[in-house]
């Protein structure tokens, strides 16, 4: 288990322009496996990930890591639904976070080449990142997040708008990262993906956590009627 965890969230809330986006949230997460955050559109999945990551302002409540907040932020990364690419080559995108952390350029280039091969972009190192396909950009975003050997990665709908082949490739990368001990917390609207990847599930509705449980019992028999309705494909209001 990572020395970042457990992560304890008590009464956490974030709002924007007077509107509560998430909260109050009470949640405790350990440092193992993949936690999948699900819920209807507008439930607050992205806002919860941003709040835990520190990208959204904590207006009230507490978010406590087992280590210092500074150390926790250093050891985690975030992959957005729409990849943010530097207007540079694939290689430069991979090198950038390593150089920011003080790694020598020669070593960074070698590591970039290794990660490009891991995600199937080894023939694209010199190609400008913005011209890659959606699936290729998402693989690059994942490689850039994982190349710094984080203990935790947040992923916001990492396979949204990707075809089946690209989704399978992304999931293989995620499963490999999980097997290597990286903690993953991701949101998804795809229940097939949630069932394939989840060790634990957080079900959200109207900005609050309604269920948090191991994946198998959740998908077999959720505890709340809203979660059951959501899994059936009903409109949840």
- Rounded to 10 degrees, what is the CA torsion of 203, 215, 136, 161? -40
Three-class HEC string of 47-107: HHHHHHHCCCCCCEEEEECCCCHHHHHHCEEEECCCCCCCCCEHHHHHHHHHHHCCCCHHH
Q: Give the tens place of pLDDT for each residue, 148-164.
A: 999 999 999 998 878 88
Supply the pLDDT for residue 162. 82
Mean pLDDT along residues 16-33: 92
CA separation for the pair 173, 145 (Å, rounded): 12
Name the band, by pLDDT with cuts 50, 70 and 90, for residue 81.
confident
Pick the CATH number of 7-85+132-232 from 3.40.50.150, 1.10.645.10, 1.10.760.10, 3.40.50.300: 3.40.50.300
Query: With b meaning 16 or more CB within 10 Å and e meaning fewer, what string describes 60-76?
Result: ebebebbeeeeebeebb
Strand 200-205 versus strand 34-38 pairing type:
parallel
Taking 70 as the threshold, does the pLDDT of residue 1 lie above it? no
CA separation for the pair 188, 119 (Å, rounded): 21
> For residues 225 and 234, is the Cβ–Cβ distance under 8 A?
no
Q: Give the tens place of pLDDT for each residue, 221-230.
A: 999 999 999 9
With H, G, I as helix, E, B as strand and everything else as coil, classify residue 199.
coil
Q: Which string of DSSP letters, residue by residue, matches 22-33?
A: EEEEEEEE-SSS
Q: Give all strands of the β-sheet with 60-64 in edge-to-edge order.
A: 19-29, 7-16, 60-64
Task: Name the helix (H) or strand (E) containing 136.
Answer: helix 134-146
Q: Give the tens place of pLDDT for each residue, 128-155.
A: 999 999 889 999 999 999 999 999 999 9
> For residues 120 and 169, is the Cβ–Cβ distance under 8 A?
yes
Supply the pLDDT for residue 2. 66
With H, G, I as helix, E, B as strand and everything else as coil, classify residue 202.
strand
pTM of the model: 0.94
> For residues 218 and 199, is the Cβ–Cβ distance under 8 A?
no
> For residues 159 and 138, is the Cβ–Cβ distance under 8 A?
yes
């Amino acid at each position: 288990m990572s020395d970042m965890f457990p992560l304890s969230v008590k009464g956490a809330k974030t709002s924007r322009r007077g509107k509560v986006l998430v909260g109050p949230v009470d949640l405790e997460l350990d440092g193992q496996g993949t936690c999948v955050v699900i819920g209807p559109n507008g439930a607050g999945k992205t806002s919860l990930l941003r709040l835990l990551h520190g990208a959204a302002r904590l207006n009230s409540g507490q978010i406590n890591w087992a280590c210092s907040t500074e150390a926790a932020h250093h050891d985690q990364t975030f992959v957005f639904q729409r990849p943010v690419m530097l207007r540079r080559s694939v290689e430069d995108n991979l090198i950038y976070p390593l150089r920011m952390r003080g790694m020598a350029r020669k070593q960074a280039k070698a590591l970039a080449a290794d990660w490009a091969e891991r995600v199937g972009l080894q023939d694209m190192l010199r190609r400008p990142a913005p011209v890659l396909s959606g699936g290729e950009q998402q693989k690059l975003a994942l490689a850039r997040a994982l190349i710094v050997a984080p203990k935790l990665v947040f992923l916001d709908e990492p396979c949204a708008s990707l075809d089946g082949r690209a989704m399978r490739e992304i999931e293989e990368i995620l499963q490999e990262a999980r097997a290597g001990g990286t903690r993953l917390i991701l949101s998804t609207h795809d229940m097939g993906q949630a069932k394939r990847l989840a060790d634990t599930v957080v079900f959200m509705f109207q900005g609050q956590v309604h269920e948090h449980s191991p994946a198998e019992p959740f998908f077999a028999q959720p505890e709340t009627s809203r979660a059951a309705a959501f899994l059936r494909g009903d409109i949840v209001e």
